Chain A
Amino acid sequence: MSDKELDAKIAWALRTAADQWEPPPRVWQNISARIQSPTQEARLRPRWTWNPRGLSWLVQAAAVAVFVLGIGLGYGRDFTEETVRHATPQSDSQIIVTNAQEASPPQPPVALTLARHRPPERAYDRVRDLN
């Protein structure tokens, strides 16, 4: 098939098919209505149909969010348990230190931030000195 023949066939097929396409009268009615009331917005999107693949990004985002949230909560829980274990008195001397620690000014909640993952240094140092 020569290029000229191909050109002629494509043009003829497209024009023959397009001869049947005419805009219906309601298009001008809609245009006229929108021009005279410019606040009316057009819906230039395909009609919504259920498509699981179209929502795949939402499912993926939810999965990632749950994963990140789970890691964050899990880290906080381990840290809290570790803090409690460090603060649990094991001997009489530590009880004394614990009482002294209770007398110290109140500390901010430690489980809320990742930076505060060490036990209170003042109590830890005193325990080490007594041992």
Chain B
Amino acid sequence: MAALDDAALVASVRQGDLGAFEALYDRYKTMVFRTACAITHEPSAAEEITQECFVRAYRSLDKVDTSTCLGPWLHRIAANLSYNWWRVARRQWTTPLGDDFEGADRMDSERAAFTLGRENIRAIMQAVNSLCFDQRVTVILFYLNGLSLEEIAYVLDCPVGTVKSRLHYAKINLKKQLEQAWEPAPQVVYEPI
């Protein structure tokens, strides 16, 4: 249904209907923005990536295959733009990947009480951010956006086996880091003299 709707909207956009493109934007903006935000970990960069992603999508709508959902295609553009941003940011040392994480801080109290606490979410996000770029993007696309392995392979332009491998090693790294983070503090035992 979504694919048909996408095709109809794309057809309208091709005829010059900007309102149809706004409908496409409303449908996918959150997904693209969250992906970019999770990869870059910087909201201002995510805004620019979202903006550039939809502008490029608008200019390339003539070439897109409307028989499938537009989601993976937009993810592919966003992932490439995020990679370009990250490559420049890494050189300039402006990526604040690390301690401050707004999502965990803004979490409301009800959710904090649910299964995982705020500190646990912070630890998981820090572990995800410490992964290398390829593994981090794979984890985000798989766990956050729920894309299949085939869709991730399309987004990252690599074989499905590579996606499986990246996911496997990312999980090993995450497990190692989280076990260290969640390791109980050693208890001090006082021996009687």
Contact = CB atoms under 8 A, between A and B. Distances in A.
Interface of A: 1, 3, 6-7, 9-24, 26-28, 30-32, 34-36, 38, 42-49, 51, 53-54
Interface string B26-64: 000110011001100001111111111011001100000
Given A22-B33, A51-B92, A53-B93, A17 B107 contact: yes
Contact of A48 (B34, B92, B101): B92
Contact of B88 (A22, A26, A45): A45
A109 to B, nearest CB: 45
B175 A1 contact: yes
19 contacts: A6-B178, A7-B171, A11-B143, A13-B116, A14-B38, A14-B139, A16-B116, A16-B121, A20-B102, A20-B107, A23-B50, A31-B55, A31-B58, A32-B22, A44-B52, A45-B88, A49-B92, A51-B92, A54-B92
B139 A44 contact: no
Interface string B61-102: 000000000000000000001001100110111110000011
Contact of A23 (B21, B29, B55, B128): B29
Interface residues of B, number: 57
Contacts, number: 135
Chain B interface main SS type: helix
A1 B37 contact: no
B103 A17 contact: yes
A60 to B, nearest CB: 14
B169 interface: no
A16 B49 contact: no
